[in-house]
Structure 1
Amino acid sequence: MSDNELDNIPLPDEGPDYGDMPPPDAAPDFGHGAPDFGPGQDEFLPELRTPPHNYEVEQALLGAILANNKAYERVSDFLLPQHFADPAHNEIYSACKSLIERGQLANATTLKAFFESSGTLEELGGTAYLAQLQDHVVTIINASDYGKIIHDLYLRRELIDVGENIVNSAHEHEIDLSASQQIEKAEQVLYRLAEEGQTEGGFVSFGDALSVSVEHIDAAVRQGGGISGVPSGFRDVDKLLGGFHSSDLIILAARPSMGKTAFVTNIAFQIVQSKKPGYGPDGEPTEIPRSIAFFSLEMSADQLASRILSSAARVPSHNMRRGELTDDEYEHIFQVSRALSQYKLFIDDTPNLTVPGLRTRCRRLKRQHGLDMIVIDYLQLMSGAPGGKSDSRVQEVSEISRGLKGIAKELDVPVIALSQLSRQTEQRDDKRPQLADLRESGSIEQDADVVIFLYRDEYYIAREKPGQAANETAEQFQERAANHEARLASAAGKAEMIVAKQRHGPIDTVTLSFEGNFTQFGDYDDPESFPEQIG
């Protein structure tokens, strides 16, 4: 059909005559009536209902496609053959899809030949039914609306099926699947169904994309300091990364005892102390506090709180654990704890947390208190989806990393996930981590927008305790011991934050200060960079 012929197609208010059939946009018949089982019997029987469907809408959309194949372009992004309730309509739409995507014409004549070759023409109603469909012409403008009705009814049928499966699963007592895990499994299925229910996806115009980009630039200019994301609180870190950006997955990896939990705890604590532009209850512009969800799968909530308290009060954590405190220190800790309790740092120490469970908690937190960042300590302690069957732990970790990236995009917040490194770093002379050292990496490196390694040379030098060799003189040993002491003094109190991957910027290494007594990182100022004092 030519473009000129499109003008002859009736407008929506001049639609085709369906006779006794309801119009396509009429409310679908869900079949709420129950059969008559005789006097006095039906009141004791449950109401029988057929799954939601609307065959007339399906016929109207197929008629639009057969009359003008351009109608297919309006629904092809979200409508699939299995979305049709009538199996015959499923087959006809699938045939139209195949013909149109091959550049061929799809109408009653070509479909007749198509189904004759497969021997299914009569099962679909024969030539008469194809002609009848083509006669059900609607405007191409309405094609998208018809497609959305069909897709919505499909989702309702799927939702009914999910509900029945949830009920049946709850009735069954599975030893390996607790009730809470069944809930998480149901949430995962519902989330997938919600993802499939998005019909508004597709291309974004370059102009719209540019508008969002300019908004980010404007935020960076207004915030100052070259920071467009959530500031880490560390001067040189923010200079390199520009803050932590929304929808980014940041992997922070290190060998044990490098201080990765302490580092991410310091970042979280500094972020919740900062504020961001927002609006008050009266609608007036104001500054509102930032909120962080911290999932501590390795440490309990009170242990993590003790670390933060030790760092904020500058009292050694081991003294706090043993209760070796002076009266002044005890009073100071009490005052600091009261001040810290106002910050919006929410800790979840649920073990074996799954991605669906984490997503549910974060959605609820964002709705109730707002959410600016998610921290997971650490990725390898998470579990796969309940009921999932991964062939290997590597594949399971890969699914977890993809799930975390999906959460970052869905909730539009940065996600920092701590990760372990393999022991192969210990076998090298230079023990600084590399991307290949990510443990059970799978797709971690590909999914991550930023990969950060934490390294402290002091840790390794301190363990190189020099001993006198049999063929070594006392002078040679003393010289070697003095060299070791000099190396240790040079590395003391310093840490390296190595940005090995950054999707939006350069890679580099940032030097930080580290105080082990308080498990605290800070900005590093090189003494050699200061001018000498005179007099």
Structure 2
Amino acid sequence: MTLTTTDPERRRHLAPVDDPEEQLPPHDIAAEQVVVGSAILDRRVIGQISELITPLDLFRPAHQTILQTVLDMDAEGRQLGVVAVSAELTKRGEITQVGGAPYLHTLTEAVPVAINGPYYAAIVADLAAKRRLVDAGTRIAQIGMQGTGEVADLQERADATLRQAISGGVSTESDTELLGDDEGWIDSLAEPIDQSAFVPTPYMDLNEALSGGLRKGELICVAGRTGGGKSTAALDMARSAAIHHRAGTLYISLEMPALQVRERVYAAEARVPHRAIREHDLTEDDWQRIARVRPTIVDAPLWIATPATCTIPWIRQRMQTMERRGTPVRLLVVDHVGLMSSAGRTENRYNEVSAYARGLKLIAMEFDVPVLMLCQVSRAAGRRDDAIPRISDLRDSGELEQSSDLVLIVHRPDYDVTDKAAGHARSGEVDLYIAKNRSGPQCVVTIAAQSHYTRFVDMARG
């Protein structure tokens, strides 16, 4: 049966792509007819079709309406077929808009073999993806031509538009799996732990407590009082990953300029006093030490970023760019989350910091990398007798704790000693409190501070 119509809107949807009067987005009406017709005829193909497309992936509105109706009826376990679907469309008051009952027959007659419906659904899915790209390109062009505000904000909107276009539709890869499909997992239990799933830290006892190091896909909160050593610990981990394990590391410093970060890296690696580097007061031995480590540092995949405005979209865009250039990030460090910026307006500081924490967690999962998120603790810790920060002291938002897979609290027992000459029973020691650990136990790891080299090291083993 052939559909004849004088409706201009319907003719527009049936127009060829190369129509000289109107260039339409990519589509294939014949493939859509086979897909919808197959769903009407044989419910066994509906599941496979649904894994490839949604009704909105169809170009013609009538096809969207019909397929959605068929999906609803299938979900309710109702009888399908031309007569049943026609009755349901009539009940919904939509039979006229889709071309009437005759068009349902046109759809089923267009089907060569119903079991081939998923094949044509894949064609429809590809064309829908292309249309999303066309639409995104148009909107990005409008942002560039007519957008107002800061350029960084416009770039974020354009980036979000493109990502939405790329991630739209139904994924051809399943994001849901049966718990019992565990043969591969069971077999892996007989093998040693895959160390590639971790980024080792420079502290032996911490690696042991974490079963290998920082896990990929996890958000690690490194907290501490101002000047308590959280940045030193984070930079130690960044140095270790990039210089000693050749893992691409992006260190985003929102407190220190790149020059200061570089000074600290050289002081720690060369074991040259930081003061000597900062004041350009180097001895001959200092120069020799720097010369020995410089080739290793120069070749290390350690990038330092000091953006004036650091937002979640900016971080994601930078990591995507590095991935495309063949220099993927394997460890991300943000120092610190309290200095990040919002891409838009937020109601209050709590919601703002919560959004940062959730965004960094999503980045960790999306790029499958450990993310070190530094944050400060409230002054309440200093007013307690032991002065040890607790997880409840994390400043600005409880989401910092909720989103984190691991919370490391850096504490120096001699932090509040005003008379350095008098010393302290634990002078030079640093406690790393594992206050939260989704993958293991909570404990305390003690390391040693070498403040003149701006680094922490393992305690001497007797």
Do the two structures share a fold, i.e. TM-score over 0.5? yes
Question: Whole-Å Cα distance in 1 between the matches of residues 63 and 172 of structure 2?
Answer: 20
Equivalent residues of 2:49, 2:121 under 8 A apart: yes
Question: Whole-Å Cα distance in 2 between the matches of residues 232 and 124 of structure 1?
Answer: 62
RMSD: 3.0
- The letter of the residue matching 1:329 is D
Q: CA deviation at 1:331?
A: 4.3
Q: Establish whether residue 503 from structure 1 lines up as the match of residue 455 from structure 2.
A: no
Larger relative contact order (CA 8 Å, sep ≥ 6): 2
Match of 1:237 among 199, 202, 206: 206
Question: Whole-Å Cα distance in 2 between the matches of residues 427 and 489 of structure 1?
Answer: 19
Equivalent residues of 1:61, 1:138 under 8 A apart: no
Question: Whole-Å Cα distance in 2 between the matches of residues 434 and 503 of structure 1?
Answer: 17
Write out aligned runs for 1:350-389 (5 A): 350-366=307-323, 367-385=325-343, 388-389=344-345
Q: CA deviation at 1:209?
A: 5.5
- Which has the higher Rg, Structure 1 or Structure 2? 1
- The letter of the residue matching 1:263 is A
For residues 342-374 of structure 1, the C-alpha deviation after alignment (integer angstroms, 9 at most, x for no partner) is 222121222222223222322333442344322
Q: CA deviation at 1:131?
A: 3.2
Match of 2:241 in 1: 271
SS at match of 1:51: coil
Match of 1:194 among 144, 150, 166: 166
Question: Whole-Å Cα distance in 2 between the matches of residues 293 and 411 of structure 1?
Answer: 13
Equivalent residues of 1:107, 1:134 under 8 A apart: no
Question: Whole-Å Cα distance in 2 between the matches of residues 143 and 414 of structure 1?
Answer: 42
Distance of aligned partners of 1:312 and 1:18 in 2 relative to their CA distance in 1, 3 Å threshold: farther
Question: Whole-Å Cα distance in 2 between the matches of residues 352 and 420 of structure 1?
Answer: 19
Match of 2:454 among 502, 506, 519: 519
Write out aligned runs for 1:261-340 (5 A): 261-275=231-245, 289-340=246-297
Between the two proteins, the alignment pairs up a number of residues equal to 450
Match of 1:444 among 395, 400, 411: 400
Equivalent residues of 1:395, 1:442 under 8 A apart: no
Match of 1:416 in 2: 372
Q: CA deviation at 1:60?
A: 1.1
For residues 174-202 of structure 1, the C-alpha deviation after alignment (integer angstroms, 9 at most, x for no partner) is 2x221x44233212222222222532123
Match of 2:27 in 1: 53
Equivalent residues of 1:378, 1:417 under 8 A apart: yes
- The letter of the residue matching 1:232 is T
Equivalent residues of 2:448, 2:458 under 8 A apart: yes
Which contiguous aligned blocks of 4+ residues in structure 1 show a shift greater than 6 angstroms? 17-20
Match of 2:7 in 1: none
Match of 1:183 among 136, 141, 155: 155
- The letter of the residue matching 1:111 is V
Q: CA deviation at 1:492?
A: 0.9
Question: Whole-Å Cα distance in 2 between the matches of residues 384 and 144 of structure 1?
Answer: 43
- What percentage of residue pairs aligned between the two structures are identical? 29
Q: Establish whether residue 32 from structure 1 lines up as the match of residue 34 from structure 2.
A: no
Equivalent residues of 2:140, 2:161 under 8 A apart: no
TM-score by length of 2: 0.87
Once structures 1 and 2 are overlaid, which stretch shifts more, 91-100 or 392-401? 392-401
Equivalent residues of 2:222, 2:410 under 8 A apart: yes
Write out aligned runs for 1:431-470 (5 A): 431-441=387-397, 443-460=399-416, 462-463=417-418
SS at match of 1:122: coil
Equivalent residues of 1:497, 1:510 under 8 A apart: yes
Distance of aligned partners of 1:294 and 1:485 in 2 relative to their CA distance in 1, 3 Å threshold: closer
SS at match of 1:123: coil
Q: CA deviation at 1:438?
A: 2.4
Q: Establish whether residue 391 from structure 1 lines up as the match of residue 391 from structure 2.
A: no
Match of 1:66 in 2: 40
- The letter of the residue matching 1:121 is I
Distance of aligned partners of 1:391 and 1:59 in 2 relative to their CA distance in 1, 3 Å threshold: farther
- The letter of the residue matching 2:449 is F
Question: Whole-Å Cα distance in 2 between the matches of residues 94 and 104 of structure 1?
Answer: 14
Match of 1:211 among 178, 181, 184: 184
Distance of aligned partners of 1:514 and 1:189 in 2 relative to their CA distance in 1, 3 Å threshold: same
- The letter of the residue matching 2:305 is D
Q: CA deviation at 1:144?
A: 2.6
Match of 2:8 in 1: none
For residues 388-443 of structure 1, the C-alpha deviation after alignment (integer angstroms, 9 at most, x for no partner) is 44433433333333332333233222222212223333343343333332223353
Q: CA deviation at 1:69?
A: 1.6
Q: CA deviation at 1:261?
A: 1.0
Distance of aligned partners of 1:51 and 1:372 in 2 relative to their CA distance in 1, 3 Å threshold: same
Q: Establish whether residue 163 from structure 1 lines up as the match of residue 137 from structure 2.
A: yes
Equivalent residues of 2:382, 2:388 under 8 A apart: no
Gaps of 5+ in 2: 5-13
Question: Whole-Å Cα distance in 2 between the matches of residues 323 and 213 of structure 1?
Answer: 58
Question: Whole-Å Cα distance in 2 between the matches of residues 30 and 389 of structure 1?
Answer: 45
Question: Whole-Å Cα distance in 2 between the matches of residues 104 and 389 of structure 1?
Answer: 48
Equivalent residues of 1:29, 1:52 under 8 A apart: no
